[in-house]
Amino acid sequence: MELEERKSYLMICMADYLMYRWKKTLQEFLYLDSLYGILDYLILGYEPFHLTGDEGIAEEVEEFIRLQGGTI
């Protein structure tokens, strides 16, 4: 699998996990993404994230949202 495919895979898996964790629908998740750039953040952080488990990545994303003044 090439790097771009691995990044896409991480985005898909984490989007699914975050929707489950936050109890959000796809529409709600996409709205949060439009506000906070969640998927872009996952791509930018791919290098450290691909070595981290789902829980650790989710905590990083939640902190990223809080730093922007957001809530989930």
Label residue 20 by pLDDT band (50, 70, 90): very high
Q: Is the pTM value of this prediction over 0.85? A: yes
* CA gap 13, 43 in Å, rounded: 12
pLDDT at residue 32 in the model:
98
The C-alpha angle with vertex 11 and arms to 49 and 29, in degrees rounded to 5, equals 115
* CA gap 34, 55 in Å, rounded: 22
DSSP 52: S
Domain boundaries of the chain, sorted by first residue: 3-67
pLDDT at residue 35 in the model:
98
Distances (CA, A) of 69 to 22, 35, 64, 65: 17, 11, 9, 7
Distances (CA, A) of 19 to 8, 60, 69: 17, 15, 20
Q: What is the mean pLDDT of the chain?
A: 96
